A and B are shown apart, each in its own frame.
Chain A
Amino acid sequence: MRKTLIITGCLALVVAMVSCNKTRRNTGRAYMPDMAYSRAYETYASTEALDKADIHYTAKPVDGTIARGEMAAYPYKNDSIGYVKSAEVKNLFDSAAVDMKEAERLYLVNCAICHGTKLDGNGPLWKDGNGPFPSKPIALAGDAKYEAMAAGTMFHSLTYGKNAMGSYASQLSTKQRWEVIAYIKSKQKKVVSPAPAAPVADSAAKK
């Protein structure tokens, strides 16, 4: 009978080990770690060792550097003078020159969470005041102030951030920012037109 007890105990142990449903917090082992985990410096790898050896690959380029294919830098600084002057800057990409499908995608990804898919300032982060965002996003369409706002001023705010909005310069390239503004301007015109209901329904149907 003692044997039976021992066997039962072993079985119970196996069952207990199998049924343990633990969160996996480790990566486990690899056959050849030097192949699984890159020896070369990969994206996001720590560059501490390089920095110690006085090699700085992540150093910022010289001021005024323009990447290939990138547009010339926006000339004004983030201050009140720059904000006023920004109104003079023209959008090189008017609605005719912009791929509106791409611009709409950029708007929906980056802006619509606050400013709403219908540009009414009621995105999921605001949700009539029930979302987590503490201040109401502006209605880009339907508000006379923003309908009249110069494209350049919008670009200034998009580049540096304004009030509760942050800077989108790290998420959108110069060209993409202009494209988004062209998209907003094209939508504004539609909403101002005498029959405002039709374009709204239209944009909703497109989604």
Chain B
Amino acid sequence: MISCKPIGQRLTALFLSLFIISIVNTSAQDIAAGKALFMSKCAACHNVLKKGTGPALAGLEERGKWADHNELLKWINNPAAYMANDPYTQGLKNEYGSMMTGFPDVTLKDVDDMVAYINDAAKPKVAEGPVVTEEPKDNQNALIFGIISLILGIIALILMQVNSNLKKMSDDSEGIVRPDPVPFYRNKVYIAMASIIFFVFGGYMVAKGAIGLGRQKEYQPEQPIYYSHKVHAGINQISCLYCHGSAWDSKHAAIPSVNTCMNCHKAIVTYEKGPKLYDEAGNEINGTAEIAKLHAAAGFDPNNANKWDPSMIKKPIEWVKIHNLPDHVYFNHSQHIRAGNVQCQSCHGEITAMDEVKQVSELSMGWCINCHRETKVNFNYDSTKGNKYYSIYEKFHNDFKSGKMDSITVKDIGGLECQKCHY
């Protein structure tokens, strides 16, 4: 038999569960509606947890008269009129420097929803584990190969020793008399071989060292502020030209001024949403402390953000220059990226994956020349497409039409002339 609960008990349970569901539902809906309203009307100036153009809104019901949502509604609908008899909001205007924009179409229900959202968003979040990133990996390959070759070398030595011992034993047993063996370091063949190897290896190392003089591939200096290109250009997708805009217009890909950094960092004062940062030695970096270094240089006080303007910048940040061309070489960024359509990454490597930037290319003359030999220019082959400037190359147009040339490279338009870069 199926046991039946009394019908009254069942009904109570049913109603209770329905009631609970409805409560949860309405409040979730309110919060969702409040969030949508907050995002469309308030979020441009207010953040729940942080000061922005206006105050942080967490705990707003404990301030001013805002526990009464009717008062809050009056303020939102017409700030100018409300402020006339309210010392609290007058104080806010003095603190933040401007009065809030009025929203006459907001209703009391909207205010309730938005406050519900703000209270929900202000609750301390259950600590989610920070995004785990893979440990900075060391290149272990060289070490492994070194150990293997060392072991093989030792085995070879032992085997040679064993071999000579065995030979001596067999000679003894067969009665063959040989002259005493010469130790290997006095063996002429060995000495000759060793000296050849020494000269070849030594010569190689000397030549390599001499070629490397003045080249700084892999140079990765420590910068005054740990600025991660991975976070800015990679994760946040900021265009290279946002900060290095002069690469488009001039010879230099200039270092941005403090003012450019402050465009974003007068609002972004903490580093919290990105992955954990490590320097090359594997030490963890505190992103917020690095932003604070910028603020110190800018004379910016995060607690008094609205009072800041670019004239308060104290000193420029002395970034360390990584890429250096000798004085006798002319290189122009704008020419390469505008006329040549070269991507920044072609020479600077995968900058969007670098926390600390290092020099990826050799910047040697051979490296330049190789690229000039291989790169095809944006030639206007059929006189319609491509760079119109190249229409002056009459001979190449004829050669291309007659099939003598299949493409025009930088070399063809004078990319190997000495005077192009040295003058």
Interface positions of A (Cβ within 8 A of B): 3-4, 7-8, 11-12, 15-16, 18-19, 21, 23-32, 35-40, 43-44, 78, 108-110, 113, 124-125, 129-138, 161, 163-168, 170-171
Is B43 in contact with A135, judged by CB distance below 8 angstroms? yes
Contact of A43 among B215, B252, B266 (CB under 8 A): B252
Residues from chain B with a CB closer than 8 A to the CB of A35 are 326-328
Residues from chain A with a CB closer than 8 A to the CB of B262 are 166
Q: Give 7 closest A-B pairs by Cβ, nearest first.
A: A166-B263, A136-B43, A15-B146, A30-B214, A163-B53, A23-B280, A19-B142
- Complex Cα gap A109–B45 (Å): 24
- Complex Cα gap A132–B259 (Å): 19
Contact with A along B342-362 (1 / 0, CB 8 A): 000000000000000010000
User: Counting CB contacts under 8 A, is B18 at the interface?
Assistant: no
A-B contact pairs, 13 of them (CB 8 A): A24-B216, A27-B324, A28-B212, A28-B216, A30-B213, A36-B324, A36-B327, A40-B327, A113-B238, A135-B44, A161-B309, A165-B263, A170-B257
Residues from chain B with a CB closer than 8 A to the CB of A129 are 39, 43
| Closest Cβ neighbor of A16 among chain B residues | B146
Is A11 in contact with B153, judged by CB distance below 8 angstroms? yes
Residues from chain B with a CB closer than 8 A to the CB of A138 are 44
Q: How far is the CB of A156 from chain B (nearest CB, A)?
A: 14
Residues from chain A with a CB closer than 8 A to the CB of B259 are 166-167, 170
Task: Tell me whether A131 and B213 are in contact in the complex, defined as CB-CB below 8 angstroms, given that A19-B146, A164-B45, A164-B52 are known contacts.
Answer: no
Contact of A136 among B44, B185, B237, B252 (CB under 8 A): B44
Is A132 in contact with B273, judged by CB distance below 8 angstroms? yes
Is A109 in contact with B245, judged by CB distance below 8 angstroms? yes
Q: Which chain B residues in 298-329 approach chain A with CB under 8 Å?
A: 309-310, 321, 324, 326-328
Residues from chain A with a CB closer than 8 A to the CB of B219 are 24-28
Q: How far is the CB of B106 from chain A (nearest CB, A)?
A: 15
Q: How far is the CB of B346 from chain A (nearest CB, A)?
A: 19
Q: Which chain B residues in 243-295 approach chain A with CB under 8 Å?
A: 245, 252, 254-255, 257, 259-260, 262-264, 266-268, 271-274, 280-281
Contact of B52 among A43, A110, A135 (CB under 8 A): A135
Contact of B324 among A15, A37, A125, A171 (CB under 8 A): A37
- Complex Cα gap A36–B323 (Å): 11
Is A108 in contact with B239, judged by CB distance below 8 angstroms? yes
Q: How far is the CB of B375 from chain A (nearest CB, A)?
A: 23
User: Counting CB contacts under 8 A, is B165 at the interface?
Assistant: no
Residues from chain A with a CB closer than 8 A to the CB of B310 are 166-167, 170
Residues from chain A with a CB closer than 8 A to the CB of B274 are 132
Contact of A25 among B44, B221, B324 (CB under 8 A): B221
User: Counting CB contacts under 8 A, is B220 at the interface?
Assistant: yes
| Closest Cβ neighbor of B237 among chain A residues | A124
Contact of B321 among A28, A44, A124, A131 (CB under 8 A): A44
Is B254 in contact with A43, judged by CB distance below 8 angstroms? yes
Task: Tell me whether A134 and B213 are in contact in the complex, defined as CB-CB below 8 angstroms, given that A12-B150, A23-B220, A35-B326 are known contacts.
Answer: no
User: Counting CB contacts under 8 A, is B74 at the interface?
Assistant: no
Given contact pairs A129-B39, A171-B245, a sample of 17 additional A-B residue pairs in the complex whose CB atoms are under 8 Å apart: A7-B157, A8-B150, A11-B150, A11-B153, A19-B143, A21-B139, A25-B219, A26-B219, A26-B221, A36-B214, A44-B321, A110-B242, A136-B44, A137-B44, A163-B52, A167-B259, A168-B263
| Closest Cβ neighbor of A34 among chain B residues | B327
- Complex Cα gap A171–B247 (Å): 12
| Closest Cβ neighbor of A3 among chain B residues | B185
- Complex Cα gap A28–B219 (Å): 9
Contact of B46 among A29, A109, A135, A165 (CB under 8 A): A135
Is A135 in contact with B263, judged by CB distance below 8 angstroms? no
Residues from chain B with a CB closer than 8 A to the CB of A171 are 242, 245, 260, 263
User: Counting CB contacts under 8 A, is B383 at the interface?
Assistant: no
Residues from chain B with a CB closer than 8 A to the CB of A26 are 219, 221
Q: Which chain B residues in 56-108 approach chain A with CB under 8 Å?
A: none
Is B214 in contact with A18, judged by CB distance below 8 angstroms? no
Is A113 in contact with B157, judged by CB distance below 8 angstroms? no
Q: How far is the CB of B211 from chain A (nearest CB, A)?
A: 10
Is B39 in contact with A125, judged by CB distance below 8 angstroms? no
| Closest Cβ neighbor of A164 among chain B residues | B267
- Complex Cα gap A27–B260 (Å): 28
Contact of A36 among B273, B280, B321, B326 (CB under 8 A): B326
- Complex Cα gap A19–B147 (Å): 10
Residues from chain A with a CB closer than 8 A to the CB of B215 are 28
Is A109 in contact with B241, judged by CB distance below 8 angstroms? yes
User: Counting CB contacts under 8 A, is B154 at the interface?
Assistant: yes
Is A133 in contact with B264, judged by CB distance below 8 angstroms? yes
Is A170 in contact with B46, judged by CB distance below 8 angstroms? no
Residues from chain A with a CB closer than 8 A to the CB of B44 are 135-138, 163-164
Q: How far is the CB of B348 from chain A (nearest CB, A)?
A: 16
- Complex Cα gap A21–B236 (Å): 30
| Closest Cβ neighbor of A23 among chain B residues | B280
Q: How far is the CB of A15 from chain B (nearest CB, A)?
A: 4
Residues from chain B with a CB closer than 8 A to the CB of A43 are 252, 254
Max chain B C-beta neighbours (<10 A), residue from A31, A40, A137, A170: A170
Is B146 in contact with A18, judged by CB distance below 8 angstroms? yes
